[in-house]
C-alpha cells in the first residue's frame, strides 16, 4: 500500500513515498522516494529558526517537494493510497502548511488522511531499515526540541517515561556551536570538531557539568550545561585577550567541542542504562536529529551491548526531519485504525497531540 508522507513541523519541507506491506509478523517497508528541502541557509542568517519565515518557506516549496517525491518514486498521484502528515508537535505555522496541503491531497485523491505525531515518526524511522524490529521497546528521542525516553507499546504509540526539564540536547549543541562561530545548526560541525578534540587529553581540563540529574529518575537538564560551556568560552577569550567577535584557536574549539560532547553523551547514556534496567526492555530505539551524532551512536551501542539489549538507530539521513519517517508512522497508525477527518488541525504541543489521538481512538472504539 502506497503512503505519501508529508513533514513540515520545523524548518525542513519534506515528502516521501513509502510502500508498506501489512504482513502477519508486522509491517514491511520499501522506501520509494525521500525528498527534503532544508531552509537552514535562510535561518542561519538569524542564528535560529524564525517561525514566520519558516511557514512562508514551506508554503513556497511544498508543492515542488511533493511533485519531486512522486516523480522520484516513479508513480502517479492516482497510485497513492493514503496521505500521512505530521500534525504535531512543532511550530504551528509550519505544521499548518503541511496539514493544509495533506488535506487537499487526501480529499482530491479520495484516500485516508493519517495524522502523525512528529516524535513517534522519529522512532518509526528505525523500523524502515530494521524489519526485525518490533514493539514493545524503549525509545530515546534526541533532537533540537526533545530529549526524552518513551516506552513504545504494541500499537507503536509512545508514552513518555522521562526527559529533559528544560532545553533539548540539540539546542545545547546549536547554542554552544553558535558561540564557537559555527553556522546554524551547529550539531554536525560540532560532532566533527569534537572528534579531533577527543584525540588529545586536553579537553578533560575543560570541566563541564553533566546534564543527567542525580537520582533514579530519567531526567535531564541541559540549560546549566549550555550556560557553563558559553561562560567557559567567554572566560578563555578574556584570558587570550580576544574580543567577543574573534574566533578561538582551532585546538581550543576542538577541546570545548569534545568536552561538551563528552558531557552530553555521557549524561544521556547514563540515563539510557538506567532506563533499560528500570523497564527491562531488551530493544532500544535511538532516533531524532541528534541521533546522527557519531559519539552518541557509539556510546549508546556500548551501553546496550553491556546490558544484552539490542539498539536500533536509523541511518544518518533518516535521523533528521524527513517525510519517510512520517510515511512509516502513517502506516503504523493506519494499521491501528487511526484516520483523521478533513477537520484535522495542527497542535504545537505533544500533550495536545496525544489528547487529539486519544479522542480519535475512543470515538472509533480503538
Ligand atoms: O530532528 P531534527 O532534525 O529537528 C527537530 O525535530 O528538532 O533535529 C535537529 C537537531 C539540531 O539541533 C542539529 O544540530 C542536531 O539535530 N544534529 C546533531 C547532529 N546532526 C544534527 N547534533 C549532534 N551531532 C550531529 N551529528
Ligand atoms: Zn524532528
What is the crossing angle of helices 187-197 and 169-179, to 10°?
80
Domain boundaries, the chain: 2-131+320-363, 137-317
Mutation to probe ligand 1, out of 116, 144, 167 (largest number of atoms < 8 A from CB):
144
Q: Whose alpha carbon is nearest atom 16 of ligand 1?
A: 289
What's the first-to-final CA gap in the chain, in angstroms? Answer: 22
Q: What is the pLDDT of residue 170?
A: 98
- For ligand 2, the distance from its centroid to the CA atom of residue 254, given in whole angstroms, is 27
CA 279 to chain centroid, in Å, comes to: 22
The pLDDT assigned to 14 comes to 98
Task: Express each pLDDT in 210-243 by its tens digit.
Answer: 999 999 999 999 999 999 999 999 999 999 999 9
12's enclosing H/E stretch is strand 12-23
Question: For the ranges 88-92, 110-114, 309-313, 358-362, which has the lowest average pLDDT?
Answer: 358-362
The yes-or-no verdict on residue 47 having pLDDT over 90 is no
Q: Which residues contact 172 (CB under 8 A, 6 or more apart)?
A: 211, 222, 223, 225, 226, 229, 260, 264
Which class for 21: exposed (0-12), middle (13-18), buried (19 or more C-beta within 10 A)? exposed
Q: Are 296 and 286 in contact (CB under 8 A)?
A: yes
Q: Is the pLDDT of residue 27 over 90?
A: yes
Distance of CA 283 to the CA centre of its chain: 19
pLDDT of residue 25: 87
- CATH fold for the domain made of 137-317: Nucleotidyltransferase; domain 5 (3.30.420)
Taking CA 11 as the corner, what is the angle to CA 348 and CA 159, rounded to the nearest 5 degrees?
40
Could you tell me which CATH class the domain 2-131+320-363 is placed in?
alpha beta
User: Which strands, in side-by-side order, build the sheet including 219-220?
Assistant: 219-220, 158-164, 147-152, 137-142, 283-287, 310-312
Q: pLDDT tens digit string along 285-303?
A: 999 999 999 999 999 999 9
Q: Whose CA is nearest to atom 5 of ligand 1?
A: 144
Distance between CA atoms of residues 212 and 200, nearest Å: 25
Fold match between 2-131+320-363 and 137-317? Answer: yes
Question: Which residues' Cβ are closer than 6 Å to ligand 1?
Answer: 10, 143-145, 170, 173-174, 185-188, 191, 288-290, 292-293, 320-321
Query: So what's the pLDDT on residue 304?
Result: 98
pLDDT given at position 206: 97
Q: Is the dihedral angle over the CA atoms 56, 34, 168, 133 positive or is it negative?
A: positive
| pLDDT tens, position by position, 166-195 | 999 999 999 999 999 999 999 999 999 999
* Residues 301-329, mean pLDDT to the nearest whole number: 98
Closest Cα to atom 24 of ligand 1:
293
Q: How far is the CA of 279 from the centre of ligand 2 (A)?
A: 25
With a pLDDT cut of 90, the percent of the chain lying above it is: 97
The partner residues of 21 in beta bridges, in order of sequence, read 28
Q: Which three cell numbers stand for residue 10?
A: 520545523
Query: Which backbone phi and psi does 248 adopt, to 5 degrees?
Result: -70, 160
Amino acid at each position: 500500500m502506497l503512503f505519501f508522507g508529508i513533514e513540515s513541523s520545523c524548518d525542513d519541507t519534506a515528502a516521501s513515498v513509502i510502500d508498506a506491506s501489512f504482513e502477519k509478523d508486522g509491517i514491511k517497508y520499501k522506501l520509494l522516494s525521500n525528498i527534503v528541502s532544508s531552509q537552514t541557509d535562510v535561518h542561519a542568517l538569524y542564528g535560529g529558526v524564525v517561525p514566520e519565515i519558516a511557514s512562508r518557506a514551506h508554503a513556497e516549496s511544498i508543492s515542488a517537494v511533493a511533485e519531486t517525491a512522486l516523480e522520484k518514486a516513479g508513480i502517479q498521484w492516482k497510485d497513492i493510497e493514503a496521505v500521512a502528515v505530521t500534525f504535531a508537535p512543532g511550530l504551528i505555522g509550519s505544521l499548518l502548511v503541511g496539514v493544509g496541503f495533506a488535506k487537499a491531497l487526501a480529499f482530491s485523491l479520495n484516500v485516508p488522511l493519517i495524522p502523525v505525531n512528529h516524535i513517534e515518526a522519529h522512532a518509526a524511522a528505525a523500523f524502515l531499515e530494521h524489519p526485525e524490529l518490533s514493539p514493545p521497546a524503549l525509545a530515546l528521542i534526541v533532537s533540537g526540541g526533545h530529549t526524552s525516553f518513551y516506552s513504545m507499546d504494541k500499537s507503536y504509540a509512545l508514552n513518555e517515561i522521562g526527559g529533559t526539564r528544560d532545553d533539548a540536547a540539540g539546542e545545547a549543541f546549536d547554542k554552544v556551536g553558535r558561540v564557537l562561530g559555527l553556522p546554524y545548526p551547529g550539531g554536525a560541525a560540532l560532532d566533527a570538531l569534537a572528534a579531533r578534540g577527543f584525540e588529545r587529553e586536553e579537553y578533560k581540563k575543560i570541566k563541564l557539568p553533566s546534564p543527567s540529574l542525580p537520582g533514579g529518575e530519567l531526567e535531564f537538564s541541559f540549560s546549566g550545561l549550555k550556560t557553563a560551556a558559553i561562560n567557559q568560552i567567554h572566560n578563555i577569550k578574556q584570558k587570550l585577550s580576544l574580543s567577543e567577535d574573534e574566533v578561538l584557536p582551532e585546538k581550543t574549539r576542538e577541546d570545548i567541542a569534545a568536552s561538551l560532547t563528552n558531557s552530553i553523551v555521557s549524561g544521556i547514556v547514563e540515563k539510557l542504562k538506567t532506563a533499560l534496567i528500570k523497564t527491562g526492555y531488551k530493544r532500544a530505539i535511538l532516533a531524532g536529529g541528534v541521533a546522527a551524532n557519531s559519539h552518541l551512536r557509539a556510546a549508546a551501542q556500548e551501553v546496550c551491548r553491556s546490558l544484552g539489549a539490542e539498539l536500533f538507530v536509523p541511518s544518518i539521513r533518516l535521523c533528521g526531519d524527513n517525510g519517510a519517517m512520517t510515511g512509516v508512522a502513517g502506516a503504523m497508525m493506519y494499521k491501528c485504525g487511526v484516520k483523521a477527518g478533513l477537520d484535522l488541525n495542527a497542535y504545537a504541543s505533544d500533550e495536545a497531540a496525544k489528547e487529539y489521538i486519544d479522542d480519535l481512538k475512543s470515538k472509533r472504539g480503538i
